[in-house]
Amino acid sequence: MILSISKIASLYVFDSDSSITKLNIDLFSPESNVDQWTWLLEQWRDVLRTMPMIFTQAGAFSRLVRTTIGIGLMHLGKCAEEMVTTGCLSMNAELMNEHLFYALQTGFYFGIAYAVVDCLQDEIHNIDSRPLHHFLAFDKDKSNPLTLTETIDKWLHIMEQLLSGADLDRSQLPKTPFISMLIESFDNLLILTESNDTMCGSFNELALLLRSQRIDKKEIDQYYDNEQLYLGSVLKSHFTYTCTTHLGNMSSAREESERLWIMPFLGQLTHDCRDSNDDIKSKSVTPFTYYASLVKRKEPIANRLLNPFYTFLNVCSNIYLSSNRDSQTGAFLGRRIARTLRCVDSEF
């Protein structure tokens, strides 16, 4: 995300060319791109009308908005990178507006799938199973109803099949507006990624992201070792990032192979630490909530596990040292550590 913003911002260094300044202003102006922004607002409105309230209450819509903007900026960053690299800064407004519309579409359709999957994974304990079954249950399962967990697992498997290109009998899917919206999102994402030759890379990363989310499911009353606790977070954060770079067609963001793993993992650790109190209330299992629960119950196994906050600090230290103690990197990490410290409980 930061890389994309910096690429877009780099266009501003050409102050002598007023057309560049105008292009930047027009690009994000609802007045000059009224059709694109109107389309997005109407799509968001339709999602709010179609998405079950239980998903909205669990944060699915906010995830959709963040993802739409994030993917959009990544794609626009790619455009800005090409313009700066080639020196071709005279791209006309019409072509740039087409890129904006593509960016908004890609972000929106990916955001639908990501928001639903992420919400089901993270908020399963907060979602009322009765209305959920109304939207997700299969007709053929009604005689032998599945549990909430089994229903979610079945849907995650179906989505993984879709992403992997497997044939799927859509006539067997539940006939609800919500399911139609979800399937339509996959279809449109397929068309969009095929149009710029990123389909295979994007969908491979999406399938791997979904698989990593499936294996990252944990229960608070089970016992896990360090590998089981952290591997899912490492894989999930990595494939979330690489998936975003594929959808944004941002190949340069994948050049630093080591940072493809460590930086997203740092982001995941930061998120888990800052949200640890909310996660405890919602019974979400992360390295932080799991470790805190063991310490609170005075379980001996806690002594054999990595303290997740120390893990967070060690990752920060690793990044700083690998940057040869770069001052900007140090300042970035220092601010992150300071903000995260405010969220740390005594258990850590």
Average pLDDT over residues 306-313: 94
* Per-range mean pLDDT, top range of 158-172, 175-189, 198-212: 175-189
The amino acid at 279: D
Contact yes or no for 70/61 (Cβ under 8 A): no
* 139: confidence class by pLDDT, cuts 50, 70, 90: low
More confident of the two residues 212 and 263: 263
Tell whether the model's pLDDT for residue 47 goes beyond 90: yes
Tell whether the model's pLDDT for residue 5 goes beyond 50: no
Q: Does some domain include residue 116?
A: yes
Q: Does some domain include residue 67?
A: yes
Structural domain of 10: 2-196
Per-residue model confidence (pLDDT) at position 137: 62
Q: Does some domain include residue 249?
A: no
Cα separation, 160 vs 166, in Å, equals 9
Tell whether the model's pLDDT for residue 151 goes beyond 80: no
Q: Does some domain include residue 32?
A: yes
Average pLDDT over residues 48-65: 87
Average pLDDT over residues 202-212: 80
Helix or strand holding residue 189 (H, E): helix 177-195
Q: Which of 53-57, 134-138, 188-192, 236-240 has the lowest mean pLDDT?
A: 134-138
Read off the pLDDT of residues 267-301 as tens digits, 9 standing for 90 and up. 999 989 988 888 887 778 899 999 999 999 999 99
* 118: confidence class by pLDDT, cuts 50, 70, 90: confident
- Domains contained in the chain, number: 1
Q: Which of 24-28, 50-54, 294-298 has the lowest mean pLDDT?
A: 24-28
Helix axes 226-247, 259-274, angle to 10 degrees: 110
* 240: confidence class by pLDDT, cuts 50, 70, 90: confident
Contact yes or no for 162/186 (Cβ under 8 A): yes
Per-residue model confidence (pLDDT) at position 167: 73
Q: Does some domain include residue 326?
A: no
Q: Does some domain include residue 78?
A: yes
Cα separation, 260 vs 282, in Å, equals 30
How many Å is the maximal CA-CA distance in the chain?
Answer: 71
Tell whether the model's pLDDT for residue 13 goes beyond 60: no
Q: What is the pTM of this model?
A: 0.74
CB-based burial label for 192 (10 Å; 0-12, 13-18, 19+): buried
* 257: confidence class by pLDDT, cuts 50, 70, 90: low
Tell whether the model's pLDDT for residue 152 goes beyond 80: no
* 319: confidence class by pLDDT, cuts 50, 70, 90: very high
